[in-house]
A and B are shown apart, each in its own frame.
Chain A
Amino acid sequence: MPSAEPDIRSELADRPGSVTGVPAPDVLIHARGLEKSFGGAAAVAGIDFDLRRGEAFGFLGPNGAGKSSTMRMIGCVSPPSGGELTILGLDPVADGPAIRARLGVVPQEDTLDVELTVRENLIIYGRYFGLPRDVIAERAARLLEFVQLADRAADQVEPLSGGMKRRLTIARSLINEPEILLLDEPTTGLDPQARHAVWDRLYRLKQQGVTLVLTTHYMDEAEQLCDRLVVMDRGKIAAEGSPRDLIGRYSTPEVLELRFDPAEHDQAAGKLADAPAERVEVLADRVLLYTADGDAALAAARGLGLEPLTSLVRRSTLEDVFLRLTGRQLED
């Protein structure tokens, strides 16, 4: 029932343009040569990107790629070590409070106050933004409805499930009706059902025009939520584009996955080097053949006298893009 969905942006929707009446620039975040290092070790080693209003932008990469460091710099809680960064046209070091007043942040690890109730968490957070009492009360009710926690409003936070806590954190991050919502690994540690519930809420926010920036090491999350993303590896951006673009540019339409008896794995992999595929990736447990036609490749493999234990033809994903760009897998 999408029509019954409370619009969390109702108040902003009444205001054409920005608060000051001057049309806000289209680019909300601008980074050039952005760097962050910790005691000499570079976590972010010079990255360029622009975030435009209304888009869902992702940083995809494995743990340690520099995604969270980038998010913390955008969140104005980590001064950049070098390069240029402007957020909403402002300087994150000099104008931190003014920028943070217009951001929503969902951190990687929950920072909910577990000794307070669900509703109190929203009220306290609204006060941090200096919002009037009645505005906070109205928004808290609407946001709890939005994240499907209205019936838990008076409950303590402690016993809530991981997925509920995540949804509450999302509600909390929206209390100031932010112009940009930052989500650092929004579904890490959740079970599949809880992940889908979170994705569903984020997707609705996106439909309502909220600008999203998210980091993830799940390629399905990036594919589902991001209009545009950058693939990060070792502090650098390896590629940029829409999920479909990236797959088209860096992978083939289909992938044939073959699994062999471990004793025959190496030998089979050697033979497959001659298979009719654009590219062959030999992983520890599987061999991947990148090709336009997976079934034809399977027939060709059989033609080489190979009998895989299992075979699977599938479409290319961002996982394949990452493998192509870095030679490594996203999830360990």
Chain B
Amino acid sequence: MTWSFTVREFRYWLTNYRRTWRGSIYSSVLSPLLYLGAMGVGLGTLVDAHGTASLGGLSYLAFLAPGLLAAAAMQAAVEESTYPVLGSVKWRRTYLAAAASPLRPADLFHGHLLFTAMRLAMNSAIFLAVMAAFGAIESPWAIAALPAAVLTGLAFAAPIEAWAITVTKDTSFALVFRFGMIPLFLFSGTFFPITQLPAWLRPLAYITPLWHGVALCRSLTLGTASLGGSLAHVAYLAAVAAVSIAAGNRSYRRRLYV
């Protein structure tokens, strides 16, 4: 019953997405093109000219691309789990309508997470295809970077959704973007190895889900993944998502069953 309820809510988001999917596909293609073109190829040429010993002799493009893959998943997840969630209780109030149907608050939460996972999978597949076109993939293991990126996104979507349903004003989201997402984007090993960070700052990077996502995706597209290391990253990201889902089950119920 639970699964079928989740699917019913998922289908709501799907119906809704039918009107906007074209635009979203364009930006899913355009964004990796721009980033990989400007930073991977443009900036990468400069970096490579100075020698890439600190990157393990890799081209900057091959180093950067999987990091961006994970970071893009985070960005898409944050986008999908903030305004759409608050809007569902505050502006469009579709959650309030659905709460009067057999669906329970947790079903609404899970249905939207499932939809978010689908969006992440689409985005990441396109991203990987663009990476391949740029010649930024070094190993067939790159195919496993698709679920890895989705999991990275879910490790953000689940906690943020669990929180977003409790928010009353959208100004809170600006803080998440400015002081959460952007610092993570810049300092989680996407653009440079975190060994370049001061030693005291490194542990902070290790506890962020994005660093695990970046490290996992990178080891897969480069073909340097170890079983133990990959499992540790997956376990960490899955644990963040699982704990957040438990918290979200509760926060959705408290918000919708007053």
- A residues near B (Cβ < 8 Å) are 38, 72, 75, 77-79, 96-98, 100-101, 103, 105, 107, 109, 111-116, 120, 123-125, 127-130, 172, 176
Stretch with Cβ within 8 A of A (4 or more), from B7-15, B118-126, B239-247: B7-15
B93 within 8 A of A: yes
Q: Which residue of A lies closest to B100 (CB)?
A: A105
B5 within 8 A of A: yes
Q: Compute how far the CA of A113 lies from the CA of B100 in the bound complex, rounded to whole angstroms.
A: 14
Q: Is the CB of A78 within 8 A of B257?
A: yes
Q: Compute how far the CA of A301 lies from the CA of B215 in the bound complex, rounded to whole angstroms.
A: 92
Q: Compute how far the CA of A72 lies from the CA of B5 in the bound complex, rounded to whole angstroms.
A: 21
8 nearest CB pairs, A to B = A128-B101, A111-B97, A105-B100, A97-B102, A111-B93, A101-B102, A111-B96, A100-B102
B103 within 8 A of A: yes
Number of interface residues of B (CB under 8 A): 25
Q: Compute how far the CA of A116 lies from the CA of B94 in the bound complex, rounded to whole angstroms.
A: 11
Q: Compute how far the CA of A72 lies from the CA of B257 in the bound complex, rounded to whole angstroms.
A: 9
Number of contacts between A and B (CB, 8 Å)? 69
Q: Is the CB of A78 within 8 A of B258?
A: yes
Q: Quick one: which of B77-110 are within 8 Å of A by CB? A: 92-94, 96-104
- B residues near A (Cβ < 8 Å) are 1, 4-5, 8-9, 11-12, 15-16, 19, 92-94, 96-104, 256-258
Instruction: Chain A residues near B94: list those with CB within 8 A.
Output: 111, 113
Q: Is the CB of B102 within 8 A of A128?
A: yes
Q: In the complex, which of the residues A77, A98, A114 contacts B92, with contact meaning CB atoms closer than 8 Å?
A: A114
- Min CB–CB distance A117 → chain B (angstroms): 10
A78-B258, A96-B104, A127-B11 known; A112+B97 contact, CB < 8 A: yes
Q: Is the CB of A116 within 8 A of B16?
A: yes
Sample 9 A-B pairs with CB under 8 A, ordered by A number. A72-B258, A75-B100, A77-B99, A77-B257, A103-B100, A107-B96, A111-B93, A111-B97, A128-B8
Q: Which residue of A lies closest to B91 (CB)?
A: A114
Q: Is the CB of B12 within 8 A of A128?
A: yes
Q: In the complex, which of the residues B4, B16, B98 contacts A115, with contact meaning CB atoms closer than 8 Å?
A: B16
Instruction: Chain A residues near B101: list those with CB within 8 A.
Output: 100-101, 125, 128-129, 176
- Min CB–CB distance B2 → chain A (angstroms): 10
Q: Is the CB of A128 within 8 A of B92?
A: no
Q: In the complex, which of the residues A97, A120, A123, A125 contacts B104, with contact meaning CB atoms closer than 8 Å?
A: A97
Instruction: Chain A residues near B97: list those with CB within 8 A.
Output: 107, 111-113, 125, 172
A77-B256, A111-B93, A113-B97 known; A128+B16 contact, CB < 8 A: no
Q: Compute how far the CA of A25 lies from the CA of B93 in the bound complex, rounded to whole angstroms.
A: 35
Q: Compute how far the CA of A129 lies from the CA of B100 in the bound complex, rounded to whole angstroms.
A: 10
Instruction: Chain B residues near A103: list those with CB within 8 A.
Output: 100
Instruction: Chain B residues near A176: list those with CB within 8 A.
Output: 101
Give 12 A-B pairs besides A77-B99, A116-B16 with Cβ atoms closer than 8 angstroms: A77-B100, A79-B257, A105-B100, A111-B96, A112-B97, A113-B97, A125-B97, A127-B12, A128-B8, A128-B9, A128-B98, A129-B102
Q: Compute how far the CA of A100 lies from the CA of B100 in the bound complex, rounded to whole angstroms.
A: 6
- Min CB–CB distance B249 → chain A (angstroms): 14
Instruction: Chain A residues near B96: list those with CB within 8 A.
Output: 107, 111
Most buried by A among B1, B12, B99, B258: B99
Q: Compute how far the CA of A77 lies from the CA of B105 in the bound complex, rounded to whole angstroms.
A: 10
Q: Is the CB of B256 within 8 A of A127?
A: no
A78-B258, A114-B92 known; A127+B8 contact, CB < 8 A: yes
Q: Is the CB of A113 within 8 A of B92?
A: yes
- Min CB–CB distance B108 → chain A (angstroms): 10
Q: Is the CB of B4 within 8 A of A130?
A: yes
Q: Which residue of B lies closest to A103 (CB)?
A: B100
Q: Compute how far the CA of A127 lies from the CA of B94 in the bound complex, rounded to whole angstroms.
A: 14
Q: Compute how far the CA of A176 lies from the CA of B97 in the bound complex, rounded to whole angstroms.
A: 14
Q: Is the CB of B257 within 8 A of A98?
A: no
- Min CB–CB distance B225 → chain A (angstroms): 41
Instruction: Chain A residues near B11: list those with CB within 8 A.
Output: 127
Q: Compute how far the CA of A318 lies from the CA of B116 in the bound complex, rounded to whole angstroms.
A: 52
Q: Compute how far the CA of A103 lies from the CA of B103 in the bound complex, rounded to whole angstroms.
A: 13
Q: Which residue of A lies closest to B2 (CB)?
A: A97
Instruction: Chain A residues near B93: list those with CB within 8 A.
Output: 109, 111
Q: Is the CB of B102 within 8 A of A130?
A: yes
Q: Compute how far the CA of A139 lies from the CA of B98 in the bound complex, rounded to whole angstroms.
A: 19
Q: Compute how far the CA of A72 lies from the CA of B16 in the bound complex, rounded to whole angstroms.
A: 27
Q: Is the CB of A124 within 8 A of B12?
A: yes
- Min CB–CB distance A230 → chain B (angstroms): 23
Q: Compute how far the CA of A116 lies from the CA of B99 in the bound complex, rounded to whole angstroms.
A: 18
Q: Compute how far the CA of A58 lies from the CA of B1 in the bound complex, rounded to whole angstroms.
A: 34
Q: Which residue of B lies closest to A173 (CB)?
A: B100
A77-B256, A79-B257, A127-B12 known; A98+B100 contact, CB < 8 A: no
Instruction: Chain B residues near A125: list those with CB within 8 A.
Output: 97, 101
Instruction: Chain B residues near A105: list those with CB within 8 A.
Output: 100
Instruction: Chain A residues near B8: list those with CB within 8 A.
Output: 127-128, 130
